[in-house]
A and B are shown apart, each in its own frame.
Chain A
Amino acid sequence: MQQTLENFYKAVRAAGVAVAPANSIEASRAVALVGYRERGILKHALSMNLAKSHADQLLVEECFEQFFRFDAFRDGARDSAPQGGDDPTANAEASDKKTSTAEPRYEGELPLAKMLMAGDRTALAVAMQQAARDAGLTDIWFFTQKSLYTQQILQRMGLRELQDEIRALGEGSCPTRIATAGALRTAKDRLYEEVRDFVERQLGMFGKTAVQSLRERHLQKTRLSNIDLRDFRIMHELVRKMARRLSALYSRKRKRADRGQLDFARTLRRNVAHDGVLFETHWKTRFVDKPRVLVLCDVSGSVQAYARFLLLFLHSLNDVLKRIDSYVFTGSLASVNDIFDSYPVAEAIDKIMAEHGFGGSDYGGMLLDLERDCLRGIDHRTTVLILGDARNNNLDPRSHILQQVHQRAKRVIWLNPEPESFWNTGDSVMRNYRPYCHLAKTCNTLDHLERLLDDLLRAATAA
């Protein structure tokens, strides 16, 4: 049973739940305690020990249902005959007919053939599990390995011998033997299907990580504009992962103050050595350094392909950072904090695109709005993040406002979806804005974004 549990842990790991060795030991102990008699309790015991969040818990339980499935073999042909008719007399007639011709009966010694002919599903399932274990099925990784493993399992169950037997049975002219051979052949085909289904299910369990990480890797390299809507969810998760890292590093920076309320207990304690004379003072107040992030996101026609991605990123940031102000703009600035707060991601993005999207961008106008509404709030703790292509439709760039922002803010970061060689071509006014950015980078794949965030974080922690 230990082997089975270990295989189960493997399946759980493959499903993306990180199971540490210590967890699996604890889980095994818990299983030993509650026993195997009650399926529900066993499931709870395992999920409680292996899962670390509600999402994990659902995954573990799904794995459990998949893993401990014992209906592997469907009823064979022998059972299907009585199901054929409702009329008992007709049934009896049919069976009479059967016995009168040639009831295929197997009298050989081959265990697999015996099981198949007897329709012993439990024995077949056990034999298959055993063969699967011998073949190392839990190591299955890619869907291309499916037929390989199917063949291996069948061989281990004795397929070759079975085929020899069928051939030998079919050679003679005895009708019973030929009928037996026929029945065995159908049973063999069914067995093949069963095993293939089984392997497929196992691939679903053990191969999940491989497939998923391949997919994630692929997604990271794809241009963000090409990402399909169906991959949106996966991508959302990826961005969230990054955003969470960002926020974890950002949110807690506290230092002790050197004024405020005196921590009397602590002060006395520290000064006992000085005979109670208060040399060292300690203070109760602590500052929590809460940086502010101001994000401006272009949603105009020229960045249309990227806008959804940028908004997705923005939404994820909104989820994890407490003090973030999100704005979108084409010609003028509009706050989208409320929309992000009150709608789930896909809906929020659709809503924003519908309300503010498309049209030609006017960075100058946007900066004017910024000056009017937000400039006063920007101080040495504020990070300003601008997402856009700086294509200004030949309007006045008003870069002097960005200069002011640059002077006030801690950092100004410009993420441009276009490659650097395209900057300053046509109506792009990146050259006007670039001097006033602490960092201006191309950002159109998740890889870029991730690297950039790393840079950002390093700077944030160093500062």
Chain B
Amino acid sequence: MKDLYQETLSSVAEVQRHFERHHYICDERIATCVFIAHNLQKPVLVEGPAGVGKTELAKTTAQLLDVPLVRLQCYEGLDEAKALYEWKYAKQLLYTQLLKDKLGELLEGTRGLRESMAKIHAHEDLFYSEDFLEPRPLYRALHEPRGCVLLIDEIDKSDQEFEAFLLEVLSDFQVSIPELGTIVARVKPLVFLTSNNSRELGDALKRRCLHLHIPYPDAALESRILSHRVPELSDRLRTEVVTFVQQLRELDLKKVPSISETIDWARTLLLLHAADLDAGLVKMTLNTLLKFETDIEAAGEHVRGFVEKARQRAGA
């Protein structure tokens, strides 16, 4: 069976081409990062504002390499029991009950405490075995026979303790389970960590990763992304949408619209059978782009000018 590293990515340009085939349009920087990460088997820490395609990058990489994607969503209070493994305690309790019943049978013919203990020890310890283990994402990622893409989403939301725990996983791709010993990955997963920078991450973690910052796309890139994601959109409207959103990003807003919002908006316009942007339509649909009431108000006064400019650009 082919594992994830036998699929060779021979050059940065090839990575870019592969991505494009999967409708993920990226610049050279992102492609270089995936290329290095894949070849050197290093984790990638992806930073950037919400909605620029951090999670999508991991998903597309998994598709591209044809391996499963294992996703671990981080949040405050996430611990080993939810990320790595948990014992199936109910089953374990049943097992002890069972053991009690069978104990007489097992010890038949033995004499004295010493002898019976010896007999019990001779049996393998089933109590802490993989049969009673409930695998969680990290454990599953290490166990994938062909490797996988492991996406640890929003690592900045997790606690410092969990971050420290991740260090072992990320540097050696192994974890220690006290009752079982060390578990090593069958095939090292390709790890993506995403962060919105709501908390400063530790240096130790950053040091182990390639650092990738995905900014808002420029007009040309955004237009290409849009043409792949919403192919039904006419060229003219696409240029207008991109020009409008790019202008919106220059404003001082609480939450600037990112590429995912642009795509949503384009779909909305398509649904409304809009052939052209006009101020009324934009004002009506502005809530798909902007998520705060104050932002919508702030942007409202600029809409007319922006639309004008967008139409000019598209007309030219």
Contact = CB atoms under 8 A, between A and B. Distances in A.
A45 B213 contact: no
Interface in B55-111: 77, 81, 86-87, 89-90, 92-93, 96
Interface string A30-43: 10011000101100
Interface in A241-299: 244, 248, 252, 265-266, 268-269, 272, 275-276, 286
A48 interface: yes
B219 interface: no
Contact of A286 (B77, B87, B96): B77
A265 B96 contact: no
A23 B213 CA distance: 17
Q: Among A20, A268, A272, A276, which residue has the most Cβ atoms of chain B within 10 A?
A: A272
Contacts of B212: 48
A34 B34 CA distance: 12
B211 A52 contact: yes
A269 B89 CA distance: 6
A48 B89 contact: no
A27 B213 CA distance: 17
B35 to A, nearest CB: 7
A30 B77 contact: no
Contacts of A53: 47, 206, 211, 213
B29 interface: yes
Nearest to B212: A48
B92 A272 contact: yes
Interface residues of A, number: 34
Nearest to B30: A44
Given A56-B211, A57-B211, A265-B81, A48 B32 contact: yes
A312 to B, nearest CB: 20
Nearest to B77: A286
A22 interface: yes
A244 B200 CA distance: 10
A275 B207 contact: no
Q: Among B32, B77, B213, which residue has the most Cβ atoms of chain A within 10 A?
A: B32
Nearest to B211: A51
Contacts of A30: 36, 40
Given A26-B40, A44-B33, A52-B206, A276 B213 contact: no
Contacts of A23: 207
A184 B15 CA distance: 53
B160 interface: yes
B32 A276 contact: no
Contacts of A252: 159-160
A52 B203 contact: yes
Contact of A26 (B28, B42, B90, B213): B42
A209 interface: no
A45 B36 contact: yes
A49 interface: yes
B184 interface: no
Contact of A276 (B29, B33, B35, B96): B96
A44 B92 contact: no
B234 interface: no
B50 interface: no
B170 interface: no
Given A26-B42, A266-B81, A48 B36 contact: yes
13 contacts: A18-B203, A22-B207, A23-B207, A30-B40, A33-B39, A34-B36, A41-B32, A49-B210, A52-B207, A53-B213, A269-B92, A276-B93, A276-B96
Given A48-B32, A268-B89, 18 more contacts: A30-B40, A34-B32, A38-B12, A41-B32, A44-B28, A48-B29, A48-B211, A52-B203, A53-B211, A54-B47, A252-B160, A266-B81, A269-B89, A272-B93, A275-B96, A276-B93, A276-B96, A286-B77
